[in-house]
Amino acid sequence: MQGSFIWYELMPTDAASAVEFYTRVVGWTAKDSGMPGAGYTIFCVPGFDMGVAGMMQLTDEMKARGIPPNWAGYVAVDDVDAMAKKFADHGGAVHHAPEDIPGVGRFAVVADPQGAVISLLKVIMPEGPMPPEPERGTPGTFGWVELMAGNGEEAFAFYQTMFGWEKDMAVDMGEMGTYQCFAKDGKVLGGMMTKPPMVSAPFWGYYITVEAIDAAAERVRQGGGKILFGPEAVPGGSFILQCQDPQGAYFALTASKR
């Protein structure tokens, strides 16, 4: 469905260490993608062959361009080339021009007018039945996406134009402003707000579901990661934790119990 997040991707400097950290913290299993020469790892929820995220080590060229370890989110679009042009025409930027991934689809890396980077993806649907995938809310799946924007209202208007996102619940955060949840065709996808002053630049963040937040926080610490914020209760009865992995990539966790 156009406008929905369909894939998440980690780009570390050391793939082997990243596998060790995330399999321990989240409980994922890791396997090679099977694409010759790709060096691409698939993270899976135990018991499911369908991956929930991927990983590709940063190349020397990427590091030379100043790209740090990071998590990326991919949004489904019907036409990658047209959407990349739409981003550029409305004040955004194209960081990686549309390109084919053999056997997978076509992608591009773009940024909104405030500089937050996001990826676009058109998937080649395989023939035959799809393998079963874990339900949303299962530990190991991605439970939320979040934009820390330069200006939350302007960012929402931009993405509404790009993807047709709709406003959902709005949460008054006091001096921090309004946290605006957004949806597509009635399905809530995530939230966005104007970033606090201590956040240096606008960015997209991604929340991975875990069973219990306190135990996950301890695994982050034991694995060499940092706790940036939380654990904290949020509206709806969930708990969140914002973190940095040992290589510096930002990620977040969410759980229904402490």
Domains 4-123 and 141-255 are alike in CATH topology: yes
Q: What percent of the chain has pLDDT over 70?
A: 96
pLDDT of 100 reads 92
- If pLDDT is split at 50, 70 and 90, which confidence band does 38 have? low
pLDDT for 108 beyond 90: yes
User: What is the tens place of the pLDDT at every residue in 240-257?
Assistant: 999 999 999 999 999 999
pLDDT of 144 reads 95
User: β-strands 238-244, 226-234: how paired?
Assistant: antiparallel
The one-letter amino acid at 91: G
- If pLDDT is split at 50, 70 and 90, which confidence band does 46 have? very high
> What average pLDDT does this structure show over 189-193?
95
> What tokens appear for 211 in the block?
């069973």
CA–CA gap between residue 80 and residue 87 (Å, rounded): 11
Q: What percent of the chain has pLDDT over 90?
A: 74
> What average pLDDT does this structure show over 6-33?
95
User: What is the tens place of the pLDDT at every residue in 208-240?
Assistant: 999 999 999 999 999 999 999 989 988 778 999
> What average pLDDT does this structure show over 129-154?
89
Topology adopted by domain 4-123: 2,3-Dihydroxybiphenyl 1,2-Dioxygenase; domain 1 (3.10.180)
pLDDT of 177 reads 86
| Neighbour tally for 86: CB within 10 Å | 17
- If pLDDT is split at 50, 70 and 90, which confidence band does 57 have? very high
- If pLDDT is split at 50, 70 and 90, which confidence band does 133 have? confident
Domain ranges of the chain: 4-123, 141-255
What's the start-to-end Cα distance of the chain, in Å?
Answer: 33
CATH 3.10.180.10 is right for the domain spanning 141-255: yes
> What tokens appear for 255 in the block?
């759980």
Q: How many whole angstroms from its chain centre is CA 107?
A: 15
Model confidence, pTM: 0.93
pLDDT for 129 beyond 70: no
Q: In sequence order, what are the beta bridge partners of 238?
A: 234
User: What is the tens place of the pLDDT at every residue in 158-180?
Assistant: 999 999 999 999 888 888 889 99
pLDDT of 130 reads 65
CA distance readout (Å), 257 to 218, 220, 236:
15, 17, 12
